[in-house]
Amino acid sequence: MTTPPTREFLADVLAEHTSAPPGPAPLEQSTHPELPPADPAVPSAHVAYAGNPHEGARSQGGYHLRLDQPFSAGRLERATGDPLCKPAQSFWGLEPCRAADRREPTCRSCIDRAQRYGITVRRAE
């Protein structure tokens, strides 16, 4: 008695999936420039992009100044990683990566506050 083709097919599928899968491809070296280390005594920030779920001509996405350490001046309080203009949870998709370090900030509020409070903007070298 011959085995039905279905049984052979299932045996082949099972054999394919029980063998070890190929290993992951090696990771490429990061091409993002690294920032100089932050001095904890001097308030500093770096440029980060905050997007909008509905990117378009009228979107609110832009390049903001993201703080490297907690900052407090009067009523203005921001945690590490918050942009100067508003807290990070107010944004959709604030990028933690440093792909935009060589860009200039576009947020007028972030720029004004950095100048007013003497915050150093760190850029990649």
For 57, the token pair is 């001509």
92-121 burial: b if 16+ Cβ within 10 Å, else e = eebeeebebbeeebebeebbebbeeeebeb
List the chain residues with pLDDT less than 70: 1-4, 17-38, 52-60, 96-101, 124-125
For 24, the token pair is 């992951």
Is the CB of residue 91 less than 8 Å from the CB of residue 78?
no
Task: State residue 62's pLDDT score.
Answer: 82
For 15, the token pair is 């054999």
Task: State residue 2's pLDDT score.
Answer: 56
Task: State residue 27's pLDDT score.
Answer: 45
Q: Mind listing the pLDDT tens digit for each residue in 78-107?
A: 998 889 998 888 887 777 555 445 778 888
**Other C-beta atoms lying within 10 Å of the C-beta of residue 86:** 15
pTM for this prediction: 0.62
